[in-house]
Amino acid sequence: MWDSSFFLTTRGKVLLLLKRTSPCTVAYLSQQLGLSRNAIRQHLSALERDNLVTQQPMRTGPTKPALAYSLTAAAEPLFPKQYATLLANLIQELLAREGTSPVTALLSSLGRATAGAYISRQAHRNGSDRLEEVRRILEEDGAIIELCQMGPEVVVRDFNCPYSEVVKVQPEVCEVRRSVLQRLLEPAIVDLACDHRVARCEFRIRIAPLGVAVAPLSTRPGELTHSTRNPPPPRQ
């Protein structure tokens, strides 16, 4: 995430130089920043420990190769990106051209295609084990998941929505995540219940027909809670 104050620090300036010119030697960084080579090495060591830079030998002449430094993939999120703005604008343009139904169908198709990469992990699973595996799949991508059983439904909440900046202006994008869950949990029915004011993902999963009781899901600390609230009224 972009933090302009970080790039005013020496380590931030090192990263900016590596972004512009990479790979860089200690000698080059020392010259550009007006610091001793030992000081540069100390900053590079700290950045290596944080997995933000990596080193490799680079031959600059007939002498022994010097170590050169480059950014790692983990450093890229520190620099500003406009993915969210691009996605929001793209959805807005598609809605204006095609209308809501075709765009929703497109997002649904995208979600189901995304789920296809994980569908084999649901083979031979059933009941709460399928939900547990979905939780693991989502958390591998950075989700912070809470599962809560409410009568015949299970509520899935994600407190780290991957589309948080987009849903504020284009809530239709939630259909992607809903369709991922739908395909991974079929034949259960997955409904949207997101709160776009706080950018929190929430989905309600009907594991059994409405009005039919289901057995409590197995629990492990921190993974599943049983709501003390009353179940939601049946949908008409």
Q: Give the pLDDT of the chain (236 residues) as one tens digit per residue.
A: 556 788 889 999 999 999 998 899 999 999 999 999 999 999 999 999 999 999 998 876 777 778 899 999 888 888 877 888 889 999 999 999 999 999 999 999 999 999 999 999 998 888 789 999 999 999 998 899 999 988 889 999 998 888 888 888 899 999 999 999 999 999 999 999 887 766 678 999 987 543 333 334 433 333 333 333 333 444 44
Query: Quick one: CA dihedral 10, 15, 19, 25, positive or negative?
Result: positive
The secondary structure element, H or E, covering residue 86 is helix 83-98
User: What type of residue is 167?
Assistant: V
The secondary structure element, H or E, covering residue 3 is none
| Cβ-based burial of 196 (10 A; exposed 0-12, middle 13-18, buried ≥19) | middle
Geometric angle at alpha carbon 68, from 66 and 73, rounded to 5°: 160
Q: Determine the angle formed by the axes of helices 100-115 and 83-98, rounding to 10 degrees.
A: 130
Specify the CATH class of 6-78 in words.
mainly alpha
Q: What is the CATH code of the structural domain delimited by 83-226?
A: 3.30.1380.20
| Cβ-based burial of 64 (10 A; exposed 0-12, middle 13-18, buried ≥19) | exposed
Global pTM?
0.64
The pLDDT value given to residue 72? 93
Are 43 and 94 in contact by the 8 Å Cβ rule? The answer is no
The pLDDT value given to residue 150? 86
The span from the CA of 66 to the CA of 53, in Å, is 16
Domain residue ranges in the chain: 6-78, 83-226
| Cβ-based burial of 229 (10 A; exposed 0-12, middle 13-18, buried ≥19) | exposed
The pLDDT value given to residue 161? 85
The span from the CA of 187 to the CA of 183, in Å, is 8
Are 132 and 140 in contact by the 8 Å Cβ rule? The answer is no
Q: Determine the angle formed by the axes of helices 37-49 and 26-33, rounding to 10 degrees.
A: 110
The span from the CA of 32 to the CA of 28, in Å, is 6
